[in-house]
Amino acid sequence: MRTSAGSSCSDLNVQLFGESRLSDMARHWRFAIVGVGVVGEWHVRVLSRMENATLAAVCDVNPAQPAKAFEKNKITGVPVYTDIHEMLRKEQIDVVTVATPSGDHFTPATVAMEAGKHTFTEVPAATTVEGCHRLVGTSERTGRHCVIMENCCYFRNAMMVLNMVRHGLFGEMLHGEAGYQHYRIAQNVFDDHGNLLWCGEEEARRNGNLYPTHAVGPVGQWLNINRGDRFDYLVSVSGKSRGLNLYAAEHFGPDHPLTRREYALGDINTTLIKTVNGCTITLYHDTQAPRPYDLIYRAQGTKGLYMGTLDKIFIQGRSKGDTWETLEGYSEFEHPLWKALATRAEGTGHGGADFIMLQRLIRCFQTGTYPDMDVYDAADWSVIAPLSEQSVAQRGRSVD
């Protein structure tokens, strides 16, 4: 997987995005949002409440969308554009957040960087190997960040585990496991009228781990991916595809075209990644079979492990015998960001993680701190999808 982030690229991080450049920039950050649908509305809401950020403009091909979002959040006076180029030309913008439909982040992110703007993109950053390569190239050439907004990295448990890893509680890290295990056909695949939504179109033609970043994001941080280790190769296996046909049969009838057609995506995809330093990662993609939501989040080292499915931890010499403990006894590892922001984050999206993520990223820019998630993460986490497709199509062949 040297497709995107070779160590030679990662080594450039500090020079490219060093403290001096960032802290020279305006302390009050002017944001523009591209794409104001469901996710973009959340960007509107959170950005309008940030202390050190101004929502300077938005852009959507359908201007009714921003109007709805503004009304919902009682916002007035923010200019609306239907063309990103025009917006970037006319408005003074520091950062562009990209919340266009899920497969369409690459183009606006690239346009924004080319216009000299830093970019925060929703996941995935790109859907092809070439797209991931090009994001890295554009970011390096323009000297502009392409931060992937992987909010799962800011979950309270994920950050507590990260803090434990940094303090050596697990010893040397060995393994991570995570899964996007989320039955979401009703929300994402079909509309109520029997048409395929964008996710449905993807699942009809692609077979692999199509949505890897929620799973791999926190694991990548725990294992220091692109900060001392990097992905080496992956193998990926998909099982049979049943869920979409069964759902369509139940909701649209046995003779509906959506029931009778074929879908490429296997209901359960499992992908293994080996890192250059000898760690392993197991990733699940499991969205088409009815099940409770479970991201797994296993972080394992030579001295113990956290198991997110159980929300339990075991640390040799601290846990009694070989029994699991709750996280309550480990409150000294609460991540400083959560200690500082938990109260203010209450009631915002994803248990507060969305708020904390954006606060943190803006704070990084203000203080010249290198952001937690960069273009190499954006590329490496996103490229798992197309590489897993290659592997699945070749009986689990390993792909570098």
Binding site for a second copy (CB under 8 A): 171-172, 174-175, 183, 233-235, 237-240, 242-243, 246, 266-268, 270, 272, 274, 277-280, 282, 286, 289-293, 300-305, 307, 309-310, 314, 316, 322-324, 395-398
Nearest distance from C-beta of residue 218 to a second copy, angstroms: 18
Residue among 83 and 311 whose Cβ is closer to a second copy:
311
Between CA 285 and CA 265 the distance in angstroms is 10
Residue 351 identity (one-letter amino acid): G
242 contact partners, CB below 8 Å, separation of at least 6: 267, 288, 289
Q: Which is nearer to a second copy, 98 or 264 (CB)?
A: 264
Nearer Cβ to a second copy (59/392): 392
Q: What would the DSSP string read from start to end of 44-81?
A: HHHHTT-TTEEEEEEE-SSTHHHHHHHHHTT--S--EE
Residue 59 C-beta-side C-alpha neighbours within 13 Å? 23
108 backbone dihedrals φ, ψ, rounded to 5°: -60, -35
Q: Least CB distance from residue 154 to a second copy, whole Å?
A: 23
Name which of 62 and 187 has its Cβ closer to a second copy: 187
Q: How far is the CB of 277 from a second copy (least distance, A)?
A: 7
Residue with tokens 């929620």: 214
**How many other C-beta atoms are found inside a 10 Å radius of the C-beta of residue 216?**
28
DSSP string, 333-357: GS-HHHHHHHHHHTTSTGGGHHHHH
Q: How far is the CB of 221 from a second copy (least distance, A)?
A: 18
- Angle, alpha carbons 324-286-291 (nearest 5°): 65
The least distance separating a second copy from the CB of residue 204, rounded to whole angstroms, comes to 17
CA–CA dist 149, 377 (Å, integer)? 10
Q: Which is nearer to a second copy, 286 or 377 (CB)?
A: 286
**SS3 helix, strand, coil % of the chain, rounded to 5?**
40, 20, 40
Asked if residue 124 has a cis previous peptide bond (ω within 30° of 0), the answer is: yes
Phi and psi torsions of 207, nearest 5°: -135, 110
At closest approach, how far in Å is the CB of 43 from a second copy?
Answer: 27
| Residue 15 beta carbon to a second copy: minimum distance, rounded to whole angstroms | 31
* Residue closest to 334 by CA, chosen among 140, 203, 162: 162
**Residue number, 233 or 370, with CB nearest to a second copy:** 233
Q: How far is the CB of 2 from a second copy (least distance, A)?
A: 13
- Per-position b or e across 48-79, b if 16+ CB within 10 A of its CB: beeeebbbbbbbbeeeebbeebbeebebeebe
272 versus 341: smaller Cβ distance to a second copy: 272
3-state secondary structure of 308: coil
Q: Which is nearer to a second copy, 34 or 189 (CB)?
A: 189
Of the pair 207, 359, the CB lying nearest a second copy is at 207
The smaller minimum CB distance to a second copy, of residues 108 and 386, is found at 386
Q: How far is the CB of 323 from a second copy (least distance, A)?
A: 6
Q: What is the residue type of 184?
A: R
CB 42 within 8 A of CB 349: yes
> Which residue in this structure is represented by tokens 């859907």?
127
314: β partners: 305
